[in-house]
Structure 1
Amino acid sequence: MPFELEEDQKRVWSYFGYFFKFSILSWILRDFGAPLLKHIPALQHCDDVPEGSSSDMCYGKEAVFRISLALVLFFSVCFAVSFKAEQGSPRDYFDKHFFFFKYLGLLALVFVSFNFPKVSIEGYSEAARVFGVLFLAFQSIQMLEIFYKWNEWWVSKSEQHEGWVPLLVSLTGGIYGASMAGVGLAYHYFSGCDFNVIMTTVTLGIGVVITLLSVSKYRSEGSGLLSAAFCFGYCVYLLWSAASSMPETCVQDVYPKNNSDWTTVLSLIFMVLVVSFCCLNSAKDRDAFTMSGGDQASYSPSFAHFVFLLSSAYMAMLLTGWETGHHQGRGTFDLGWTSVWIKIAVQWVTAALYIWTLFAPFILSDRSF
């Protein structure tokens, strides 16, 4: 069941549209919806927040988690309907059609979610943390799959045509150069905190280790310097992303915490787009999550719904800074030490998974990778 089928494209883009629209709605209600949200009975506990706290922040947090919960419930139902559904079966037909009525159903779930008691949302907010971490784990696996595919494509081209060899060398050197520049700039701009210096040094160490291992004679045949360069570059990106989430003044020159309204809007839309397309790519291609490259279908409806489910929880974490009690305030997202440590953990997990893929074919010689 290749993804090129028109109906498969239509349905995955339709579900992507649901996710994107309601993610934007979450942000709008978080930052601007307090006057409206104050009239909802289930949210009026926010009027009793402790002195020194903001009731508007409480209302915003409630809106984010309730819309996220509605999306999670919606994609859970879609997952249940499409799980192991044969192509052409009634369940598969339902998954491909009736999008207008599904949209109405999602709106109904949003309405219902704003009537759930406080204790239900508190329980979901804790579960959303777990789902968010799972989404990041999925993304790490998918990024490694992309690195290996790009490495394989460039190497195959260079083997077929000698003219591609300089391009391959230039690309590899360019990625390493940009990554080293990123490390150097991190030392320059973020050295105001000892923690940043340590994390930058760890990132540099990761780059050195994966590079040396990628040229080892015991490595996997599909790996090479280009895949190592991609992995190193991604780890440097995660370092800078972690720095962007720091609430400390030692990153103020690069990441000012008080953005103007228009830069905030652009940043939020860009963030939602990035997460949405990451989610879309994971939904479209499940090959990265299989242990072998057999005759597996490249698109699985139930797997796509599962990824959208995790993404819905992850978006709530970004908008609340992974805090279940409150968000950081209007104009901020993905800010706080919890966000920092999660990104650092993702960097370490990605590096560990890459190292594992280098030697897994030799350790598990009876498996196909």
Structure 2
Amino acid sequence: MFAMGTCAASAAASAASYCACAGVRGCLGVGAKMARAMYVTIFTVSMVLAWALRDYAKPLVSHLPWAGGESAEGWCGEQAVLRLSAATAVFFLFLAACTAGAKTPRDSRSAVHTKGWGLKLFAWLALSVGAFFLPVEALSIYGEAARAGSAVFLLVQVLILLDFAYEWNESWVAKDDDRWFAALFGVCCVCYLVAVGLGVVSFVFFSHCSINVFFTSVSFLLMFVTTAASLHPAAHNGSLLPAAVVSLYAMYLNFTAMTSEPDECNGLPGASTSQGMLAAGLAVTLLSVVYSALRAGSSQVLSTEGGSGAATEEYEALQDREDRRTSRRATGADDSDDDEEEGGARDDEDREEDDEDRALAGVPYNYAFFHLIFACAAMYYAMLMTGWGDLSEHQEKDTINVGWPSVWVKIISEWGTVAIYMWTLVAPMVFPDREF
């Protein structure tokens, strides 16, 4: 397992090197799409380092003269996770404040998002190092704030899931073709079959604790209620596909909640102690956090500023054209020596036109919202790795999101998802004059 930690540290170092090299290039600025990838890299490095410091750093830290003895706990373990999470959250919150209100690429606030990568990388590293000198009391305060930020992150995930389900249903129904209707019905059947299967597995492996029987029974009841409500004639927004997706997600949360339980109620403790399974589960969880943060941060569902979907496509097409032009000029493949001056002038004219079009198109996504979501995601990964901020409950090596706090977070998320979906059905009837 030490080798696994070494690999994780090597991966983090490689990603950090990439950030450093890109940061030097980034002094000239990058496009919004590349900027998004850069921020994802910084976030991923932070999360992987937090995991490595939690599980593998203590033997190394104990040999450091300034961090040995009892103080070593502050440089590794759950405290290290909270410190790195706090640094990353502050980094993204500061960027969110600096980019709030940016509407066009020519806005100086947009430059904060796409330029100055050397300075931003240095700021993140300085915050990460400085966080290890915070007193433990400050970590307790941050832990409380991180719980709230994690709740926001989970709520955004639910809203984006519902928006995805509704858009999926509308796009296939709009095709007005029997084949697409059949495909829609087939997807619904698969969702319900998998949901029922997860429920049956939950009863088989976790029924020796009465609370698990209660959780699974409630999940089946919620699946029936959401389906019936969606098919009711009074539910104008009701459709079978969103109900099927919500039912599957709810049953999935119920199942994963039980797999997060301690051994006395966990019917699969043997599988959870396999080192390979632990490492695979941890990797999947970390990747899902990165994907969720990226998708939520780039979404237009909750953002009140920033470009529309059409503006996003137009902006990215222009940016791709600019990137290709820059690449050709850098490799000398654009023009021959005789035509170099003419080609350069033509590129300058094209670039001016692209800049004008890009300014009219607006920013491709809400920069401030993007950074706010990543700040909440940084808080969320800290909660996953520390048992939701409870430093008294030590997380075993290579485990994540295990313990009763994690169980209740997932169960409440399940019930909250169903409640929000039911509100999307009821709200148009309660407020007929409003658009939902």
**TM-score normalised per structure 1:** 0.88
Residue pair 2:382, 2:389 contacting (<8 A) in 1 also: no
Displacement of 1:305 in angstroms is 0.4
Displacement of 1:101 in angstroms is 2.6
Question: Which residue does the alignment assign to 1:330?
Answer: 397
User: Paired residue for 1:75, among 92, 113, 117?
Assistant: 92
Aligned pairs for 1:338-357 within 5 A: 338-357=405-424
Between 335-344 and 129-138, report the one with greater CA deviation.
Answer: 129-138
- The residue identity in structure 2 corresponding to 1:169 is F
Residue pair 2:303, 2:366 contacting (<8 A) in 1 also: no
Question: C-alpha separation between the residues in 1 aligned to 2:236 and 2:140?
Answer: 45
Aligned length, in residue pairs:
351
Identity across aligned pairs (percent)? 30
Question: Could you list the per-position Cα deviations for residues 180-225 of structure 1 after superposition, in whole angstroms to 9, with x for gaps in the alignment?
Answer: 111111111111111111100000000000000001111133x301
Question: C-alpha separation between the residues in 2 aligned to 1:121 and 1:45?
Answer: 17
Question: Which residue does the alignment assign to 1:30?
Answer: 54
- The residue identity in structure 2 corresponding to 1:208 is F
Question: Could you list the per-position Cα deviations for residues 239-283 of structure 1 after superposition, in whole angstroms to 9, with x for gaps in the alignment?
Answer: 1110121013342436634221x4333222211100110010001
SS in structure 2 at match of 1:80: helix
Aligned pairs for 1:194-213 within 5 A: 194-213=210-229
Aligned pairs for 1:53-68 within 5 A: 59-68=76-85
Give the CA RMSD over aligned residues.
2.4
- The residue identity in structure 1 corresponding to 2:244 is A
Is 1:280 matched with 2:294? Answer: yes
Over 3 Å counting, the alpha-carbon distance change for 1:185 and 1:92 in structure 2 is: same
User: Paired residue for 2:235, among 219, 226, 232?
Assistant: 219
Gap regions ≥5 residues in structure 1: 1-5, 48-54
Displacement of 1:45 in angstroms is 4.8
Greater radius of gyration (CA): 2
User: Paired residue for 1:7, among 2, 20, 31?
Assistant: 31
Gap regions ≥5 residues in structure 2: 1-29, 312-362
Question: Which residue does the alignment assign to 2:18?
Answer: none
Between 348-357 and 293-302, report the one with greater CA deviation.
Answer: 293-302
SS in structure 1 at match of 2:271: coil
Structure 1 stretches (4+) deviating beyond 4 angstroms?
Answer: 40-47, 293-298
Point out which structure has higher relative CO (alpha carbons under 8 A, 6+ apart).
Answer: 1
Question: C-alpha separation between the residues in 2 aligned to 1:169 and 1:120?
Answer: 53
**TM-score normalised per structure 2:** 0.75
User: Paired residue for 1:360, among 389, 406, 427?
Assistant: 427
Question: C-alpha separation between the residues in 1 aligned to 2:269 and 2:193?
Answer: 21
Question: C-alpha separation between the residues in 2 aligned to 1:242 and 1:298?
Answer: 37
- The residue identity in structure 1 corresponding to 2:294 is L
- The residue identity in structure 2 corresponding to 1:251 is N
Displacement of 1:42 in angstroms is 7.4
Residue pair 1:40, 1:114 contacting (<8 A) in 2 also: no
Question: C-alpha separation between the residues in 2 aligned to 1:171 and 1:318?
Answer: 31
Question: Could you list the per-position Cα deviations for residues 58-77 of structure 1 after superposition, in whole angstroms to 9, with x for gaps in the alignment?
Answer: 83111100000000110011
Question: Which residue does the alignment assign to 2:333?
Answer: none
Question: Which residue does the alignment assign to 1:112?
Answer: 130
